[in-house]
Structure 1
Amino acid sequence: MTRSIKAVILDWAGTVLDHGSRAPMGAFVEAFAHFGVAISIADARGPMGMAKRDHIRLVGTAPAVATAWRAKHGRDFDDAAIDAIFDVFEPLNVAAVEAHSALIPGAKHALDWCAANGIRIGSTTGYTRPIMERLAPLAAAQGFTPEVMVCAGDLAAGRPAPLQMWHAMAAMGIWPASTVVKLDDTPPGIGEARAAGCWAVGLALSGNIAGLSVEDLAALPPADRDALRREATEQHMRAGAHLVVDSIADLPAVVAHVQARLQAGETPGLVEWS
């Protein structure tokens, strides 16, 4: 049995860059507002991590939003509504990533550590390829150039289905799945890893659940930061995370932890998703 980690598959927003995953949140709020329907930040963040059309569907069919849509437009929230909102959302998100593309503190060091230790880097994302065509060069200029980038819409199903993970591993020639660690800031991303048979590691403070910039997080009283960490940890563990850490800065410790579990004979297990 292989007992060494070969690769880390990384999510993008809230995991490697865009501390607090703020770009997509704002674009969702603005896109619904374009059609005269107000959604809250909590509404926008709820399904984060999923493919963006799926995300729009879940937001729009939530009871309060569905009622508001019906009152405004005189019809139910349907596939035509999803298409219309997506057409507005995608360019908004493309513009938003330009302002929210900075690597999360500690990310570059973690990536360099992986390179120095022979651990390969791939990526999956809930962003579409047009969004990533704008974001990827901004990340590359800061030193983030994963071997593979699998986008929402590239395959038949997005998160929490395992197809993006399997596609990334196949493109990299990496197997078995037990030698791969997935880092993600959202429960759907954790589900993606578990469904693929990989190690799933949640990020508590850098991503969507905490939802704060570096500066706003640092300004919190320690007790409030601890409360955010506990809430995020609970959400990730419910989704099936094997481990939860604060951010990608903890990646070297994550690899050491998972490697020890592998060497003790543990495997990540496989969670079936329907």
Structure 2
Amino acid sequence: MQFTHEREFTYTRAYRGPIRCVILDWAGTTMDFGCMAPAVVFRQVFEKAGVPISLEEARIPMGAHKRVHIGLICEIPSVRRRWVETHSTEPTDDDVGRMFADFIPMQEACLSEYSQLIPGTLDVIGECRKRDYKIGSTSGYLPGMLAINQADAKKQGYVPDATFGAGDVKRGRPFAHMVLRNILELDISPVQSVVKVDDTLTGIEEGLNASCWAVGLAISGNEVGVQLDEWDAFSEEVKQKHRDRIYPTMYQRGAHYVVDSIADLVPCLDDIEARLRRGEQP
């Protein structure tokens, strides 16, 4: 009798070490509570093109490369209908290109107005440093825009170890390219030791596509889309309604954890460390 048990089992290995790197988004995650800067400029760009859009429409594709973002706004049925009513033709790639060319200087001109670090950022970065985590970062912004963010962040005491934006890779979010560029630059291994933190759904996917842990920030970024003083003025009932709407959406998109903002991140890191010690994987 020939035994075939060796064909009936597979064998795997599990990483049981610590977190080695945390990769953070920029707007809505570490600075610009409410992710206001890009949303405001998308509205200005479409208004200049003769097709005003709402703040909600401007936010739908948030996290993507900004040219891709403009193209995706054009695909929103309500926007596309208004475009045809205004221009008597469907929006074209040339139209997207012209709006993107307008977007770049308009975005760079206003970034510093929205560059205040989100409360808790420096405390969490400090805790990560104590644990010897590397700090990476990704963004849908282009290099010139990111340079402004980095300069403003440095003045406030935040300097990540690596930064890659959508202009640095062939494919932006939800593809994993920017996360993987960080991992390579920072010489991190394995990918299971990396945590991606983002306020957008496509940013959560970015982390998952790199086989990392993914933490969604429900309140400080795009999904609520209000500045800190406005959020603070909401009643607890209104705040909870936002949480009840956003938390399930982020979990459904695949986030391992969802919290309000970066200020709530450390307990997630603690739990990931415990899960890694047990041999669990993202």
Q: TM-score w.r.t. structure 1 length?
A: 0.95
Tell me, yes or no, if structure 1 residue 245 matches structure 2 residue 259. yes
Q: Give the alignment partner of residue 119 of structure 2, picking from 99, 102, 105.
A: 105
Contact 2:16 2:279 in 1 (8 A): no
Give the aligned residue type for 2:219. L
C-alpha displacement of 1:214: 1.2
The residue correspondences of 1:57-96 to structure 2 (distance < 5 A) are: 57-96=71-110
C-alpha displacement of 1:59: 0.3
Q: Among the aligned pairs, what percent are the same residue?
A: 38
Q: Equivalents in 2 of 1:234, 1:47: separation in Å? A: 18
| Largest Rg, 1 or 2 | 2
Tell me, yes or no, if structure 1 residue 46 matches structure 2 residue 46. no
Q: Give the alignment partner of residue 214 of structure 2, picking from 200, 210, 223.
A: 200
Q: Give the alignment partner of residue 69 of structure 2, picking from 55, 63, 66.
A: 55
Deviations 1:105-145 (A, max 9, x none): 01011111111121110001011111112221001111111
Q: Give the alignment partner of residue 117 of structure 1, picking from 131, 143, 146.
A: 131
Please give the root-mean-square deviation of Cα atoms over the aligned residues, in Å.
1.0
Contact 1:24 1:96 in 2 (8 A): no
C-alpha displacement of 1:81: 0.9
Q: SS at 1:153's partner residue?
A: helix
Give the aligned residue type for 1:62. I
2:178 is aligned to 164
1:227 is aligned to 241
Deviations 1:39-62 (A, max 9, x none): 111100111011111111110111
Q: SS at 1:191's partner residue?
A: helix
Q: Give the alignment partner of residue 149 of structure 2, picking from 132, 135, 139.
A: 135
Unaligned runs of 5+ in 2: 1-14
Q: SS at 2:141's partner residue?
A: strand
Tell me, yes or no, if structure 1 residue 16 matches structure 2 residue 46. no
Q: Equivalents in 2 of 1:245, 1:264: separation in Å? A: 23
C-alpha displacement of 1:189: 0.2
Contact 1:11 1:184 in 2 (8 A): yes
Deviations 1:191-249 (A, max 9, x none): 00000000000001111101111111111110110111121212211211000011111
Q: Equivalents in 2 of 1:239, 1:53: separation in Å? A: 23
Q: Equivalents in 2 of 1:76, 1:153: separation in Å? A: 27
Tell me, yes or no, if structure 1 residue 30 matches structure 2 residue 44. yes
Unaligned runs of 5+ in 1: 269-274
Q: Equivalents in 2 of 1:100, 1:81: separation in Å? A: 28
Deviations 1:146-166 (A, max 9, x none): 111111121110000011111
C-alpha displacement of 1:3: 2.4
C-alpha displacement of 1:259: 0.9
Q: Give the alignment partner of residue 229 of structure 2, picking from 209, 212, 215.
A: 215
Q: Equivalents in 2 of 1:38, 1:97: separation in Å? A: 21
Tell me, yes or no, if structure 1 residue 187 matches structure 2 residue 233. no
1:126 is aligned to 140
Give the aligned residue type for 2:56. A
Q: Equivalents in 2 of 1:231, 1:97: separation in Å? A: 29
Give the aligned residue type for 1:26. V
C-alpha displacement of 1:175: 1.3
The residue correspondences of 1:249-268 to structure 2 (distance < 5 A) are: 249-268=263-282
Deviations 1:62-120 (A, max 9, x none): 11211221222232111101111111111121122111000000101111111112111
Contact 1:2 1:179 in 2 (8 A): no
Alignment: residue pair count: 268
Q: Equivalents in 2 of 1:249, 1:36: separation in Å? A: 40
